[in-house]
Structure 1
């Protein structure tokens, strides 16, 4: 493993640990303020927040590596492509964990067991802004599922030629999930501390990648003959 790989993994692990400790700190701070504690609800809330936050980070890394795969392979080595594939699987598992932990949290909190609300209760003209951003999370979940399916079956003839188009959905779902994270999540608001700046940085970087890809497409499509 070369020096660049060690630096990459150091920062990768650092961000994961920083996210984890920040969320733990936020939860303990909330317990100390409200003077109430329920272990099942606290554990599920911790699981939900950790899985959602780490999924956001892993999706960000997926986009950054996926956008410039040959470049990253030359910098870090061939292992980064296997890492990219496995990280995508872990990211999707974390998204599933985030979703099902919400379902269980509502059940334990005696709000009922309602998979319909968690998975398919979409709205655009919603009753509240919060419900709109919940829907952004649902849309993001299904777009990610579609991208994962495209990756799994990409060896089949039609998918082999077209799976990349489905992976462009990653950019759309990232922005949807970022909005969901900012407006619904309690750890990434501008009042929550450093995690907000991580989210802001992720959005800026992905926006620049999208802009660069669009400019390249525009130049190649409308080049003067």
Structure 2
């Protein structure tokens, strides 16, 4: 059965906005550009989203909801089937994100939108992401803490922040190692995931900072879309 027309209109607007945000950034993209690319009128954007700010948020929501569900489902299995083991927890964080990035039809543009989110200061977007997805980092932080109890909260979140940054870099495929000829993108991404998980495990298991090192007050976990 065909979907109602208003769903396809909403999807066209989101797809056009995602592509344009990836190319021009949030501030550099006008609603007129979005409506032209989506072949809709401004009334359709106002009906479905109400404002450009809400449109930006919804571009993130449709990708982040899917990735979050995959991550949390995999995390639940990791904690249930492999209690106390760090690698399955890290895999639950890394693998769904790289799987999304591998899907060039649905994930490629969004990876570039994530890069824009890092580069542009958008307090409303950061607030939206913190309110709706901040629990993901906190849940993974607690799970990792159960596997490496020797780390302070501050050290744990520094290392989780570094993992999130490395993951974003891997998703964008900016690395020195390019996919060799004859190797599928799926296989290349799978190897990237395993290498990152191995690297992250070593980082989280590294010795805690020595007692003589300066220890600033623990900051609140920084927001990452990853």
Structure 1 and Structure 2 fold alike (TM over 0.5) = no
Q: More relative contact order in 1 or in 2 (CA 8 Å, sep 6+)?
A: 2
Structure 1 or 2: larger helix share?
A: 1
TM-score by length of 1: 0.29
